[in-house]
A and B are shown apart, each in its own frame.
Chain A
Amino acid sequence: MSKWLCLIALAALASVSLFVGVIDLLRVDPAEIWPLIRDSRFPRTVATLLTGASLAIAGQIMQLIARNRFVEPMTSGTGQSAALGVLLTAVLFPTAPIGLKMGLASITALGGSVLFFSLIRRLPPTQPLLVPLVGLIYGGIVGAGVTYVAFQADMLQFIEIWMNGEFSGTLRGRYELLWLAGIAAALTYLVADQFSIIGLGEAVSINLGLSYRQVVMLGLLMISVVTALTVVTVGIIPFVGLVVPNMVSLMAGDNLRRTLPITAMAGAGLVLIADLVGRLVIYPFEMPVGTVIGVVGAIAFLWLLYKGGRRAG
């Protein structure tokens, strides 16, 4: 029941999004309405929905694998590693097609995530808050590496696009990769139980006949692909993967078979609203969606640390 309400609210917001922009749809020559919607407004709206939904699910899966509620790909090095991959492709193979760029970004993102998980394995389980701290530092170091490479290659203005997510450049023909991210995220629903069980730890997983390593690698692959596709098309958008799964978990628990659709809708809603706010707050100019979510997300993150710290393990 409430799921349908969410879906209706999301559809309403999405239709509002079609009408928000510098050109007022109600006063424009009717012949121009359809091309405008087709080429700009619709792609942008769909891009926000796909990005939000897939990032929220990627965050949820990452938290289950880490067994820690305070990690998410964009602030724990996966996003930065993806950006490094895109940058290296741009430096080494400037004429590479988008598919190759995306593939390399996925590989570096996967490498970055595997390294992050091998780092946090050594942390004492009694100190759950060390995990997000290590993630932030690790992400910062990889990010600094990206800046260094970009500086050397005289490409600093390019990395802004990948490091600061925004949707103002989203046009028909330039966002379609996000559908793949959406599909990758949606596929996790097929193995929802496996990921829920992984969240109960390695011993329980083995006992129930799961191939623990295989499911973890599948999860990391999905996280990396979603992150890389998002970074390549719209750039790093932090906090969605952190805030949304935590809110959903507080309200509806962690049985993914039940909660993944809610997580997806909430993520889509958050990014769509943040993008609407970004488009309206200094209208007719725009504020990047990453900045809006950064403000909202930082507050939500502090609140979660304060409220959920005791049960973080």
Chain B
Amino acid sequence: MIDIHNLSYQIAGQPVLRDVSLQLAKGGVVAMIGPNGAGKSTLLSLIARLLPLQSGSIVVDDLQIGEATDIELARTLAILRQDLTVASRLTVRDLVGFGRYPYHRGRPGAEDRELIEAALKLFDLADLGDRQLDTLSGGQRQRAFVAMAYAQDTDYLLLDEPLNNLDIAASRALMEVLRDLTRQRGRTVVIVLHDINYAAAYADRIIALKAGEVVADGAPSTIVSDSLLQDVFQTRAKVKTVDGRPIVLV
């Protein structure tokens, strides 16, 4: 479980998160939605210790963020951020291989290599393994980074807008792989999404943030509504129910 307690965060005096408390149970897909600047990425970065805590606390399983060792956390949670620019010339296989670093610490073994190949296969990268990252399309590069996070083999996977650059087929394929991970292996996926329809279709729970506060939290069918869109995004869009799940008419 990820236990977030009274978390606040400021950047240059401006509050980005205000007293957020959340419990994310183990297993399942949790989608975070909210307008730009709502604090979603900051929340993810704080959970993944990429930013130092200012006030409040975060505990992942029994690991206290800020106190647990780097390597323990690296085996427990993986984060994929939005910014995926890479100056290094690496092959896809090299990059995915670095996902195994927390286990092999620079000396990869047979098991690591097997897992790398499995990750390449799962994310449809088997033919691209030896290609340099800078020769790939945006979507292929995105998948390579997701595969790296997958190879890290952690119970918790935090993904910040992973559907950027992906076409509809790749987006659906990725969401299905993520959902399978939660169903078959009990993994927990926390994912920032902009498209509420993807959130409604694949998430078990949606958390809506606005101006650094949690304003809605629950199963997609219970919270996605005209009034949510009006309150959180200040936009008038209709929500219809098709096959039992909410669809935003854009």
Contact = CB atoms under 8 A, between A and B. Distances in A.
B14 interface: no
B70 A211 contact: yes
B233 interface: no
A69 interface: yes
Nearest to A204: B98
Given A253-B132, A255-B94, A311-B134, A209 B102 contact: yes
Contacts of A210: 70, 101
Interface of B: 45, 48-50, 69-75, 78-79, 81, 83, 85-91, 94, 98-99, 101-102, 105-106, 132, 134, 152
B87 A68 contact: yes
A196 B224 CA distance: 44
Given A67-B87, A197-B101, A206 B81 contact: no
Contacts of A208: 74, 98-99, 101-102, 152
B98 A197 contact: yes
Contact of B94 (A69, A191, A253): A253
Interface in A190-209: 190-194, 196-197, 199-200, 202-204, 206-209
B159 to A, nearest CB: 12
Contact of A313 (B79, B87, B91, B102): B87
Contact of A196 (B71, B88, B152): B88
A255 B90 contact: yes
Given A207-B74, A208-B99, A191 B106 contact: yes
Nearest to A257: B106
Interface residues on A, range: 20 to 34
A27 B60 CA distance: 77
A contacts with B: majority SS: helix
A262 B132 CA distance: 18
B79 A207 contact: yes
Contact of A209 (B50, B75, B81): B75
A193 B98 contact: yes
B90 A194 contact: no
A249 B101 contact: no
B70 A200 contact: no
A56 interface: no
B74 A209 contact: yes
A286 interface: no
A254 B90 contact: yes
Given A194-B106, A200-B98, A207 B87 contact: no
Contacts of A193: 98, 101, 105-106
A64 interface: yes
B75 A207 contact: no
A174 to B, nearest CB: 36
A138 B79 CA distance: 37
B101 A209 contact: yes
A207 B157 CA distance: 11
Q: Name which of B72, B98, B105 has the most chain A CB atoms within 10 A of its CB.
A: B98
17 contacts: A68-B87, A194-B106, A196-B88, A197-B101, A199-B88, A202-B50, A207-B78, A207-B79, A208-B101, A209-B71, A209-B75, A210-B70, A211-B70, A253-B89, A257-B106, A311-B87, A313-B87
B48 to A, nearest CB: 6
Contacts of B72: 209
Given A209-B74, A253-B91, A253-B94, A200 B102 contact: no
Q: Nearest 8 CB-CB pairs, A to B?
A: A209-B74, A193-B106, A254-B88, A209-B71, A209-B70, A209-B102, A253-B89, A199-B88
A171 to B, nearest CB: 39
A206 B69 CA distance: 11
Contacts of A257: 106
Contacts of B101: 193, 197, 208-210
A211 B72 CA distance: 12
